[in-house]
């Protein structure tokens, strides 16, 4: 997953000239090999009548069996145990675990997995909200942490999209504490030391990065290069709305403020199936830029919101003269 034309890259040119598209190296990548013996979505799709404009409807007997045995599912089951209960899924979407670009790719595959039992589908969109289906998510250690029935009101969901975070990071989440950076004018609460470092791709910025789950990392960049807050924020919003940020979710764009200082935030979709969140806060010309990416179509992870909401400006937030 990469921020190919991210507004974050456009930010660098917003102060002196119009917004010009640039490429930036991703903070988080999801490259890696994830072998799986289940069909992919495309393989399953081609075996149905959907490519000819038809509607896929599961056999009544199969649907009845899955619904009848649904109550036997338990969190922490393996995929093999789930198959013994519900039968073979229609397709799977294995996903490599997120890692920073500065971290070498692991020797062994580290993949989470999402599988689907489809009851009814009428489009080629893998995440169509009109589908009647059950989606199950497995952590990189192969344990079931989230079951999400869709358009099946008689079935209750199990776990949550952030349940894997609680399992994998159970020791980490108990140690949240505030880290203060007077020279950069802010304090923030995170589960681990953000370890400030010079940004590899934007050397004028200081970066603070924390891993919030196996699939979510958040970076706060600080730009101390003086900029006109109002003009730069306006250029950023205009650039986003004019299409310079592909995948922007227009309803997510909104003005925000911290301690009376202005900002803007939004979310956008990333292929092949993820989202990114960005927030820009300007305090007397200094910019604080949050960026977090995650896989799947779910809402912004709660851990991201917790970190962002903990951000506060210190009395030293003003630009040094």
Task: Please report the pLDDT score of residue 204 as a whole number.
Answer: 80
Kindly state the helix (H) or strand (E) to which residue 249 belongs, with its residue range. Answer: none
CB within 8 A of 282, min separation 6: which ones? 227, 229, 232, 233, 261, 262, 263, 288
Q: How far is it, in rounded angstroms, from Cα 130 to Cα 122? A: 8
> Does 3 have pLDDT greater than 90?
no
Bridge partners (DSSP) of residue 112 are 95
What is the rounded CA–CA span in Å between residue 190 and residue 206?
A: 17
pLDDT in tens, 299-311: 888 889 999 999 9
Q: What is the pLDDT of residues 228-278, one digit of tens each?
A: 999 999 988 888 888 766 788 888 999 999 999 999 999 988 765 678 899
Domain extents for the chain?
Answer: 7-16+170-313, 41-160
Beta bridge partners of 242: none
| Torsion angle in degrees (nearest 10) through CA of 45, 75, 144, 59 | -20
Q: What values do phi and psi take at 26, rounded to 5?
A: -70, 145
Q: How confident is the model at residue 211 (pLDDT cuts 50, 70, 90)?
A: confident
Answering whether pTM is above 0.75, one says: no
Give Cα separations from 224 to 207, 266, 288, 289 (angstroms): 12, 22, 9, 11
138-188 pLDDT, tens digit each: 887 788 888 989 899 999 988 876 544 444 444 444 478 999 999 999 999
- The C-alpha atoms of residue 134 and residue 151 are separated, in whole angstroms, by 9
Average pLDDT over the chain, rounded to whole? 78
The pLDDT of residue 1 = 34
**What dotted CATH number matches 7-16+170-313?**
3.40.1000.10
């Amino acid at each position: 997953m990469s921020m190919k034309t991210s507004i974050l890259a456009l930010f660098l040119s917003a102060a002196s000239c119009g917004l010009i598209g640039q490429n930036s190296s991703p903070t988080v990548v999801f490259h890696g090999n994830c072998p799986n013996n289940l069909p992919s979505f495309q393989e399953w799709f081609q075996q149905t009548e959907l490519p000819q404009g038809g509607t896929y409807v599961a056999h009544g007997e199969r649907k009845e069996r899955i619904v009848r045995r649904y109550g036997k599912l338990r969190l922490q089951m393996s995929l093999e145990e789930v198959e013994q209960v519900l039968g073979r899924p229609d397709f799977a979407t294995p996903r490599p675990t997120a890692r920073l670009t500065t971290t070498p790719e692991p020797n062994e595959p580290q993949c989470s997995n999402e599988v689907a039992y489809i009851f009814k589908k009428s489009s080629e969109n893998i995440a169509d909200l009109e589908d009647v289906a059950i989606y199950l998510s497995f952590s990189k250690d192969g344990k079931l942490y989230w079951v999400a029935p869709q358009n099946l009101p008689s079935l209750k969901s199990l776990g949550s999209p952030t349940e894997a975070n609680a399992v994998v990071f159970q020791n980490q989440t108990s140690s949240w504490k505030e880290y203060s950076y007077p020279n950069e004018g802010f304090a923030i609460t995170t589960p681990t030391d953000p370890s400030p470092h010079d940004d590899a791709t934007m050397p004028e910025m200081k970066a603070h990065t924390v891993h919030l789950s196996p699939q979510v990392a958040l970076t706060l960049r600080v730009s101390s290069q003086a900029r006109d807050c109002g003009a730069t924020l306006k250029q950023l919003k205009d650039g986003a709305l004019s299409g310079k940020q592909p995948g922007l979710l227009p309803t997510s764009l909104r003005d925000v403020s911290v301690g009376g200082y202005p900002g803007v935030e939004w979310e956008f979709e990333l292929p092949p199936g993820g989202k990114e969140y960005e927030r820009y806060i300007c305090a007397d010309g200094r910019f604080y830029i949050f960026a977090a990416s995650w896989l799947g179509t779910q809402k912004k992870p709660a851990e991201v919101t917790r970190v962002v909401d903990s951000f506060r400006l210190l009395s030293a937030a003003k630009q040094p003269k």
